[in-house]
A = this chain, B = another copy of it.
Amino acid sequence: MAEILDFNRKPGPAPRPEPLWREALGRKLRETREERGDRLVDVAERAGISVQYLSEIERGRKEPSSEMIAAVAGALGVDLADLLIGIAGQVRNLRSASSFRAGGHFQTSRPTGRPSGPVAMAA
């Protein structure tokens, strides 16, 4: 049940149609940890952070610094690139899964004129 606490947002910031970075990151970190069968305390120790803080990161409540991300990823045995790919996949999933969630939010970012193709950035 604690799946989505999006509507838990207080008045102020505009409700985001797509998940925030820290939320997507946390979700992926938790998934990775559980896949490894690790407990919070295991990863926290290896990463050198407190268990309650790791818990908050995984739940998307706190904004971890880049060094923290590296530490946790290292403790989980994944590298940044893999992590990002996984998160991107999740974000896509969530987005399509929420399409039947009424509310009238289709687009996410205003395509400023150009359908844009981020095209192939094979630079």
Contacts and interface: CB of A to CB of B under 8 A. Distances in A.
Interface of A: 13, 16, 18-24, 31-32, 35-36, 47-49, 63, 65-71, 73-75, 77-82, 84-89, 91-92, 95, 108-112, 114, 116, 118-123
A109 B21 contact: no
Given A109-B77, A123-B31, A118 B82 contact: yes
Contact of A120 (B67, B118, B119, B121): B67
26 contacts: A13-B67, A18-B79, A18-B80, A20-B69, A22-B66, A31-B123, A32-B118, A35-B118, A47-B120, A49-B118, A63-B65, A67-B110, A67-B120, A70-B123, A71-B119, A71-B121, A73-B109, A73-B122, A74-B109, A75-B122, A81-B88, A81-B89, A81-B92, A84-B87, A84-B88, A86-B118
Contacts of A120: 47-49, 67-68, 70-71
Given A23-B66, A70-B122, A116 B77 contact: yes
